[in-house]
Amino acid sequence: MSDHLHVAEPGKQFRLEHHAPEATPGLSEDEGEALLPELRLRLDELQELLYADRRSAVLVVLQGMDAAGKDGTIRSVFREVGPLGCMVANFGVPTPEEAAHDFLWRYHLQAPARGRIAIFNRSYYESVLVERVHGLVPKSVWKGRYGAINRFEALLAAEGTVVVKFFLHVSKEEQRQRLQERVDNPKKRWKFREGDLDERKLWDDYGAAYEDMVNECSTETAPWHVVPADHKWYRDVVVARALIRRLEALDLRYPEAAPGIVGTIVI
Amino acid sequence: MSDHLHVAEPGKQFRLEHHAPEATPGLSEDEGEALLPELRLRLDELQELLYADRRSAVLVVLQGMDAAGKDGTIRSVFREVGPLGCMVANFGVPTPEEAAHDFLWRYHLQAPARGRIAIFNRSYYESVLVERVHGLVPKSVWKGRYGAINRFEALLAAEGTVVVKFFLHVSKEEQRQRLQERVDNPKKRWKFREGDLDERKLWDDYGAAYEDMVNECSTETAPWHVVPADHKWYRDVVVARALIRRLEALDLRYPEAAPGIVGTIVI
């Protein structure tokens, strides 16, 4: 993780407890805040290039506990990109139609077309997180899903979609403060669900599930970034940098003009 | 149009030639540019309130000639709202599946859920614009579509969706300059299609079609705003103000907390 992108190295044993949610290695808050504007602008440039180039797509997967900052990350990192440049897909409790299909079906429907960025605000990984923790499916089923997910992501990658996955890792104390803020602030209270407290009681079970998710599904083509997320500014720097790195590696180009276009005078 | 929202009054004869694309009544460029940041922030507040309130949806319809500034409007007006707060739907040439359905089907699929904003970057109005101008359907068919569209919008409105429609009205000279810029600028050339010039030759036919569209479909529930769009800053002010006006009329509220939530101490 020496490049500060916090990649969970594929094949190497990942232990959540070795990763501090409050870490901000190599950066002060002032430095981080100063970096963000240019990172956002660069991401916007790359998005336009991605769209013009039309050979690749980008799927951003965001996972994390309640109040880990998924919404805030989208707001901040994609501030310059805007709604024209990317689509956010939210996934709630499956509808009967969705539940009648395989667990990847509804996610595949929302996969980005070439030229586009889709952000999955929670994703198919919930099938090995909430469904596992609450025992909604037997162990034999969720165990098999890691492989299915890896094969799904390999398919996307082989067909031109860059899959970039961020696990926003917050501490239990930071979550407590953020949930309390939702209770105390009338403008934020609507975000608070009593169920959040029940989920919080299962903190350790979720920790184990996230740990397995990273161990099983951090692959060469689609590695997990385990993002220290107690400090919002650091979280945003890591996510933006990781996306920029992956986009720059694509060698995106503005297409050549069709023959005859250059020099055309519009009358 | 005394409130500068450029509403085409329902039932009143609309003539395109009476509306100057370069008009900026009552505002200087400096004043307009100074207004925009606060308008964008207000729109962001209202979007969050819309989402929390969860009783209404907003459908923004954007129409205009090539290079009229549809993309630029989205970028500018929804800059603070961001991708988390609204979804842009683009509609290309219909797929065989889409073409096998009624002309409103694919648009209905993308209609916003309550709490959401959807921006239609071109819309079902293309069925009485490009399809009419190119004779893709007989006159008897496109003539009948105005009524179908009005009934569709009435359905959406009755079920809680605010439909806000903007026709971005640019002059032929302004379009010429913008298309020429696309030819001349290597970073914009990918946006230029040779077909743009063929469409430009049909300028007057499109004018007649836009005029009929406004006359037939500017209704009390879903009036057309005919936005002078030669000046981008003025266009953005009009669109932002009109959206804010409609959202403020909804009397949106943050929901009351569920009983027992207030004062909960998160442990």
pLDDT in tens, B77-96: 999 999 998 999 999 999 99
Amino acid at the residue A33: E
For chain A, the maximum distance between any two Cα atoms, rounded to a whole number of angstroms, is: 69
Helix-helix angle B29-53:B70-77, to 10 degrees: 70
CB contact under 8 A, A197 and B266: yes
Give the best residue of B79, B84, B173, B262 to mutate against chain A (max A CB count within 10 A): B84
Cα–Cα distances in angstroms (integers) from residue B15 to residues A205, B1, B112, B145, B212, in the given order: 66, 14, 32, 21, 9
Take residue B265 and report the two structure tokens written for it. Answer: 């101490």
Residue A77, pLDDT above cutoff 60? yes
In this model, does residue A265 exceed pLDDT 90?
A: no
Q: What is the four-CA torsion angle of A233, A225, A213, A217, rounded to 10 degrees?
A: 160
Q: What is the mean predicted confidence (pLDDT) over B46-59?
A: 96
Q: Look at A88 and B88 and tell me if their CB atoms are within 8 Å.
A: no
Give the residue from A264, A265, A267 with the most B CB atoms within 10 Å of its CB, the best one to mutate: A264
Whether residue A1 has pLDDT greater than 50: no
Residues of chain A in Cβ contact (below 8 Å) with chain B: 52, 71, 74-75, 78-79, 81-88, 119, 121, 176, 179-180, 183, 186-187, 189-192, 194, 197, 200, 254-255, 257-258, 260-267
Average pLDDT of the residues of chain A: 95
Residue of B nearest to A51 (CA): B190
- Tokens representing A35 are 């970096």
- pLDDT single digits (tens) A157-173: 999 999 999 999 999 99
Which residue(s) pair with B89 in the sheet?
B120
* Stretch A230-239: mean pLDDT: 98
Determine, for residues B266 and A179 on separate chains, whether the beta-carbon distance falls below 8 Å: yes
Nearest alpha carbon to residue A14 among A204, A228, A213:
A213
CB contact under 8 A, B85 and A82: no
Q: What share of chain B is helix, strand, coil (3-state, %, to 5)?
A: 50, 10, 35
Q: Where are the domains of chain A?
A: 16-248
Residue B101 clears pLDDT 80, i.e. is over it: yes
Q: What ipTM score was computed for the predicted complex, to two decimals?
A: 0.87
Mean pLDDT of A212-240: 98
SS (H, E, C) chain A: CCCCCCECCCCCCCCHHHCCCCCCCCCCHHHHHHHHHHHHHHHHHHHHHHHHHCCCEEEEEEEECCCCCHHHHHHHHCCCCHHHHEEEEECCCCCHHHHCCCCCHHHHHCCCCCCCEEEEECCHHHHHCHHHHCCCCCHHHHHHHHHHHHHHHHHHHHCCEEEEEEEEECCHHHHHHHHHHHHHCCCCHHHCCCHHHHHHHCHHHHHHHHHHHHHHHCCCCCCEEEEECCCHHHHHHHHHHHHHHHHHCCCCCCCCCCCCCCCCCCC
Residue of A nearest to B121 (CA): A84
- What number is the average pLDDT over the span A55-79? 97
Verify whether the Cβ–Cβ distance A266 to B85 is below 8 Å. no
Nearest CA in chain A to B180: A266
Are the beta carbons of B82 and A87 separated by less than 8 Å?
A: no
Q: Classify domain B16-248 at the CATH superfamily level.
A: P-loop containing nucleotide triphosphate hydrolases (3.40.50.300)
Confidence of residue A43 (pLDDT cuts 50, 70, 90): very high
Confidence of residue B250 (pLDDT cuts 50, 70, 90): very high
Judge whether B4 and B241 are in contact, CB under 8 Å.
yes
**pLDDT: which is higher, A14 or B194:** A14
pLDDT score at A238 = 98
For the segment B55-84, the average pLDDT, to the nearest whole number, is: 96
Residues of chain A with pLDDT > 90: what percent?
A: 91
State the Rg of chain B over Cα: 19
Check: CB of residue A238 under 8 Å from CB of residue A6. Answer: yes
pLDDT confidence of B257, banded at 50, 70, 90? confident
| Distance, C-alpha A63 to centroid of its chain | 6
A194–B260 CB contact, under 8 Å = yes
More confident position, B249 or B2? B249
* Burial (CB count <10 Å: 0-12, 13-18, 19+), residue B67: buried
For residues A142-151, give the mean pLDDT: 97
Contacts of residue B265, Cβ cutoff 8 Å, sequence gap at least 6: A180, A183
Mean pLDDT of B1-25: 90
Distance from CA of B78 to the nearest CA of A (A): 7
**Does residue A2 have a pLDDT over 60?**
no
Neighbours of B73 (CB within 10 A): 26
Q: What is the pLDDT of residue B154?
A: 97
* Nearest-Cα residue of chain A relative to residue B175: A266
How far apart, in whole angstroms, are the C-alpha atoms of residue B67 and residue B175?
Answer: 6
pLDDT higher than 80, residue B47:
yes
A194, A255, A262: residue with CB nearest B190: A255
Half-sphere exposure of A19 (CA within 13 A, CB side): 25
Mean pLDDT on A34-61: 97
pLDDT the model gives residue A194? 84
- A259 pLDDT above the threshold of 90: no
Please state, rounded to an integer, the average pLDDT across all residues of chain B: 95
Q: What does the pLDDT read at residue B1?
A: 40
What integer pLDDT is reported at residue A218 of this predicted model? Answer: 98
- Are B258 and A183 in contact by the 8 Å Cβ rule? The answer is no
Which of B176, B187, B257 faces A266 most closely, judged by CB atoms?
Answer: B176
In angstroms, the CA A202 to CA A181 distance is: 20
Spell A194-212 as b/e; 16+ CB within 10 A means b.
Answer: eebeebbeeeeebbebbbb
Alpha carbon A155 to its chain centroid, in Å, reads 18
Distance of alpha carbon A88 from alpha carbon B22, whole angstroms: 36
Out of A79, A176, A266, name the one closest to residue B180 (CB): A266
Between CA A118 and CA A53 the distance in angstroms is: 16
Chain segment B174-206, per-residue pLDDT in tens: 999 999 999 999 999 999 988 999 999 999 999
pLDDT tens-digit series, residues B136-173: 999 999 999 999 999 999 999 999 999 999 999 999 99
Residue A266 reports pLDDT greater than 90: no
Model confidence pLDDT, tens digit, residues A186-213 = 889 999 988 899 999 999 999 999 999 9
Please name every residue paired with B119 in a beta bridge, in sequence order, or none if there are none: B60, B88
**Where does B32-116 show beta strands of DSSP type E?**
57-64, 86-90
> How close A36 gets to chain B, by Cα (Å)?
16
